[in-house]
Chain A
Amino acid sequence: MKLPLEWLSEFVDVPRDVDVVARTLGLRGFEVASIEHLPHAVIDFEITANRPDCLSVVGLAREASAAFDRPMRVPMPAAGAPGSAGDGRSIDVSIEDPESCPRYCAQVFAVTGGAVTPAWMRDRLDAAGVRSISPIVDITNYVMIEMGHPTHAFDLDRLQGRALRIRQARAGERIRTLDGVERTVEPGMLVIADAERPQAVAGVMGGADSEIGAATTTLVLESAYFLPASVRRTSKRLGLKTEASSRFERGADVNAAPAAIARAAALFEQLGVARAVGPIVDRYPTPHEPLTLRLRSDRIAHVLGMPVDDDAVPRMLTPLGFAVSPAASAAQWDVRVPSFRVDVQREIDLIEEVARHDGYASLPATFPELAEAQAAPDARTLVDRRLRHVLTACGLSEAMTFAFIERTAALPFNGGTEPAALANPLSEKYAVLRPSLLPGLIDAAAHNRRREGKDVRLFETGTRFTASGEGRAVAGIWMGAGTSPHWGEKPRAVDFYDVKGVVSAVLDAFGITATFEAVSRPYFVDGRAAAFVAASGSTLGELGQLASDVLDARGVPAGEAAFAFEMDVDAVASAERPGDLRAQPLPRFPAIVRDLSIVVDNVLPAATVRGTIRAAAPDTLVGVTEFDRYRGAGVPEGRVSLSLRLTFRSPDRTLTDAEVDAAMAGIVEALASSHGAMRR
């Protein structure tokens, strides 16, 4: 709302300094978007949705009157008595839908012709951001800016039956609106029709067929009150937002309907544009009952945390149009709410009026009392924090990507089904909800690799969406070197085991023992992908080398390997080892370590070898670690040399070499019989 200071001054004396006026009204809840100093002092206010009354000079003048403690200059000059309606100069108005249109006023005017908009009015309109069009349109715009109430002029001679019917649109009805667009209106939309067809979309825009023009000799001026929800619905369905609709949908002043006509009539007369012929027709089947609210002094103090002087309350409210009278009980008032304050509906709204009088400047700054210790944060917050600790310690930096992605990016990750789509996405790029965090991380990795080819190690924690709903996940991607760059050695490229190590570190942080199983996925290279499963059997997540077609599709430079993992955070959190941690005493007896090198089939999984060893060993075997895997000279084709370090220890005595020798013999025998393992 652009407010020219000179226009404001017509209604209330305010300081000449536009910055002072802007700051003062700004602190009453009217945020200042910008201030113009030249050629005219104009303040552009952002008027919040609850204050349609301040989409007007008079509304803001009331605020200024209260803020600067200066009286308002009212009333405005009225028009003289209307002339009598001649033949064919009356209008037949009927409201067929009083729920959507509680009040409709109209008055007929004979157009004088030949008048022009005076410079002072053009200047004011121009300063307020409105283009001058013709004297009649300028006056209706002027009244709207001044009083906040939209009116609309029809060419009476174009209205069939000289009638205005305020009714629901009928199926299939069409109207060409003033913007020249042919529109279909439908039931649920309120229209102003003549005897035959719609001539305006109520509260939104007039129709081109009854538009006033140079040839207009008789006009009928509409000034109505339409139900906000009805106007909003219609405006949204037509995709048509106007100065009028934005005022009506926030809530116009039901009593301004006749007042706006009277004001326009005075201006028509003053500027010699038109003359009223016949009275204001006022259809108002169920007059608005003014709302009276009880305001309690102690409630003001209770909500604000600060007492307000009882004498000050009427002084704050009266200039704003509230009628304040003492109530039967002491320190209470009965406050009658003016019809233009559609936002004031209960006592709390009046308390706000009191509070904002000085822009909250006198409020003390206190703290709410705390009676007991607070509970621990949401477990999910703590899980995310731990995930970040572990993953940053593993060398991955945290990424954040959008939850909506391109459909084609989502498809490989959604098990062949359609990903969940948005009804009104911003663009194709953000059309579906991500079924996995990996597409976002692949895009982030591609972005980085295309820039300076940096090594990429990224992770993200976030929500993913599948047909069964939303779930929490964590995922990571690793490209480039697997080691820290250093002048002393050649970097090693990242491989599967780097990412498996990260996964193991996360599982370890949650005390989870998982088994890894080979899997096949459309987005992973076959033979280089695994799922990890908790002891309970629930799948916790997957890792693997990303398939090259998936990487290509997202612009990762060709030939680059990327390894990734994703886990179900809800599953990881619920698989966490329960119970209190009990520290284990350190071992009191020394361990005996034996290395074992065997030659086995190349495809025999290390986990199977480990299982055979554990099954064949006594309880004193406390550790098995692979420390070498070798294929080449000395190892037959199709076989592999596997070296393992076995640690034996007893909790209650020192083991003898003989005991361990016997255990090793048993292990070697089991490996030979189960896997044909040869000792090297």
Chain B
Amino acid sequence: MDISSLRKQFDADVASVASEAELRAIRDKYLSRKNGLIQAFLKTVATAPADARPALGQAANDLKKRVESTIDGRLAAVSKKPRADAIDITLPGREPLVGHRHPLTLLREQIELFFQRIGFLIVEGPELEDDYHNFEALNMPAEHPARDMQDTLYLASPLTSATGAPATLLRTHTSGMQVRYMERHQPPVRLIAPGRVYRRDNLDLTHTPMFTQVEGLVVDEGVTLADLKGTLVAFARDMFGPDRKTRFRPSFFPYTEPSAELDISCAACAGAGCSMCKGTGWIEVLGSGMVHPAVFEAVGYDPERYTGFAFGVGIERMALLKWGVEDIRLFYENDLRFLEQFPL
């Protein structure tokens, strides 16, 4: 068979097929090294006159290329065609049932992660407390006016706390745990105590009678107020991002001296002053200070040798500021339409 007949035969063959398998069979029929038609034609070239051989070889080569490109083109076209059993890939998938962690947990874990990164121990303590650990050991003896800062929920009759000790109240902060830790350990101390705390506050947009706190405590030789400032500024940056400004200013808590509050610049007005920041341009984030020597004396630490700092963060407050939640009660209503807004 001459080369032009061969080409016509290929054109006819390829025109009459549609499937991928048929196209591959045609490719084999012409291009197979063992028994392909072009290979067979090339064998006949060897017997042709010497001066005709280059042209015949060239023609065979051209046909080979034609077969390859035609088959490749047709194969590509075939694979694009919709198949009989095609599915609508735009329909929704079958989503596995996956729950969301509570937004307060997301934030608590972010806070825990930050402080773990800088070497803090996480401790947990009882929610039922006695007057000594909640107040007295923290430089708030009975009739101390600062007790008004934390309106307390008392038990009708004493119960046994998780430590096995009799308890008379719901802790108003997790500081009691810090006292317990110091009673049992010598410095250095570097811990955070996260947990639920209770105050006799009526529910409104910014108060709930139960809320979540993370308190921190660092005690060692040579711990300074500057260390507290550095730690809290880094913390605020981790929580709110590097764009918010921070301000560390004097305040008062009975268990710290000097005491300080940390403010961040108001996101709503970028520091210009608005109703959210009461016109000051700043929003209060947390309270802190250097541990009062009386607290060290209560737990048997030498206040001349050791210094330390403490701080307390309300997670709900952080959440309001961070996510722009307008009503704190949403965190305790457990409406799935709210909970599912937060990442897994």
Contact = CB atoms under 8 A, between A and B. Distances in A.
Interface of A: 23, 26-29, 31-35, 48-51, 228-229, 232-233, 249-250, 302-306, 346, 348-349, 351-352, 355-356, 359-360, 363-371, 373-375, 377-378, 380-381, 385, 388, 391-404, 420-426, 430, 433, 444, 447-448, 451-452, 454, 456-459, 462-463, 465, 467-472, 483-484, 486-488
Given A49-B145, A487-B92, A349 B122 contact: no
A59 to B, nearest CB: 14
B344 interface: yes
Contact of B210 (A371, A402, A483): A402
A364 B149 CA distance: 30
Contacts of B100: 392, 397-398
B229 A363 contact: yes
Given A49-B146, A392-B98, A363 B250 contact: no
A360 B260 contact: yes
Contacts of A302: 222, 224, 307
Contact of B280 (A32, A232, A352, A433): A32
A398 B333 contact: no
Contacts of B95: 484, 486
Q: Which 3 A-B pairs have the closest CB atoms?
A: A305-B224, A395-B97, A305-B226
Contacts of B105: 388, 398
A426 B202 contact: yes
18 contacts: A29-B249, A34-B278, A352-B257, A360-B225, A364-B226, A365-B226, A365-B230, A366-B226, A368-B218, A377-B122, A393-B98, A398-B102, A400-B104, A403-B127, A420-B159, A447-B333, A447-B334, A454-B336
B196 interface: yes
Nearest to A304: B225
Given A306-B226, A374-B120, A398-B100, A346 B293 contact: yes
B118 A352 contact: no
Interface in B240-265: 248-252, 254, 257-261
A457 B102 contact: no
A468 B127 CA distance: 14
Contact of B279 (A34, A351, A396, A397): A34
Contacts of A35: 279
Contacts of B293: 346, 348
B317 interface: no
Given A365-B230, A368-B223, A423-B155, 20 more contacts: A27-B250, A29-B259, A31-B261, A232-B145, A303-B258, A304-B226, A346-B293, A365-B229, A365-B233, A366-B229, A378-B122, A378-B123, A391-B99, A395-B97, A397-B102, A398-B99, A403-B170, A426-B209, A484-B96, A488-B94
B48 interface: no
Q: Which of A28, A392, A456, A469 has the most CB of B within 10 A?
A: A469
A303 B225 contact: yes
Interface string B201-226: 01000001110000000101011111
B94 A484 contact: yes
A430 B260 CA distance: 34
Nearest to B282: A26
Nearest to A388: B101
Tell which of A35, A400, A451 has the most Cβ of chain B within 10 Å.
Answer: A400
Contacts of B200: 424, 426
A469 B251 contact: no
A49 B254 CA distance: 9
B321 interface: no
A368 B336 contact: no
B69 interface: no
Contacts of A420: 155-157, 159
B13 interface: no
Contacts of A486: 92, 94-95
A429 to B, nearest CB: 10
Interface centre among A302, A398, A423 (most CB of B within 10 A): A398
A484 B97 contact: yes
Nearest to A360: B248
B198 A380 contact: no
A402 B209 CA distance: 8
A367 B104 contact: no
Contacts of B164: 469
Contacts of A355: 225, 250, 258
Nearest to A430: B209
Contacts of B309: 368
Contact of B119 (A373, A388, A396, A463): A373
A29 B251 CA distance: 5
A290 to B, nearest CB: 21
B27 interface: no
A447 B104 CA distance: 19
B290 interface: yes
Contacts of A422: 153-156, 170
